[in-house]
Structure 1
């Protein structure tokens, strides 16, 4: 794995803490397993610290975490930068009134939901997930937040699979990634 920021020595530790599992969940997939990163307290802390260092002082009021692994990284970042955490969930997981955004999968569609009133027009948001592949979930999260007048400052992921060209689907939205798969 190679890093977007080769200069920071923490990146290589983070990269080496991510386990790659071939043929999971199906043949041909090289699964990027962050559970081993979570077991390495130094690498996990460095991951959070790198995001916090980037976003502290950027006037971000919302950290929107994409289910499920965005829930791991989002809350500690939100707390550290003084923002609220808003979960972006799969259908029928949030109680109460929600708004939803449909997005395409390789075979079919899915939806992402957010509580009505969780964010307000004019707020500035960071969207966080563990990995960007095709970019479908990040695009749905961007559309969901922008529909209610939130400015998406940036999307952030621990890992990028550049061969799947998800970054290109984000249009003009900036994407910050710690580790790119090779």
Structure 2
């Protein structure tokens, strides 16, 4: 079975651009405060093999108070519990070795935050080799599907860690999606006029 990585990041704010990350525009992107990820295999149930919360030691970074109110990581926490950004990105890259699928809510935001740190550390992570799944596309509506709203809609236990919530939400959404695909295939087989 392919390995799956659920991830999210904590940053010092929001990105100020939707452009691709490059050395010319690094200053327009939020800085990475922490990477949280869970890696495991799915064979009817998810079997977790790695769970990590990597807080980065601050280097020339401003901790935005509004962002801090969400992620609850203070500058002192990062100074005391953080690890060097080079070590964190290397560890994350090594843990992705056998991963085939990366899943998150608002995945492009998290990928860009990690890519900025990859540029800063000169460590290459080729996200193009993974199947990237953004859970917000499963719950698509004209209103932006907020993660907290999806937790309520699908009755996800709020006492779980955020990674566990991502995992449980994804498998509910995936199950609904796969039932729809199966139904479409069965309908297609019944109808001669559908190619």
TM-score norm. by structure 1 comes to 0.32
Query: Hey, which of these two has a bigger chunk of strand by percent?
Result: 1
Larger radius of gyration: 2
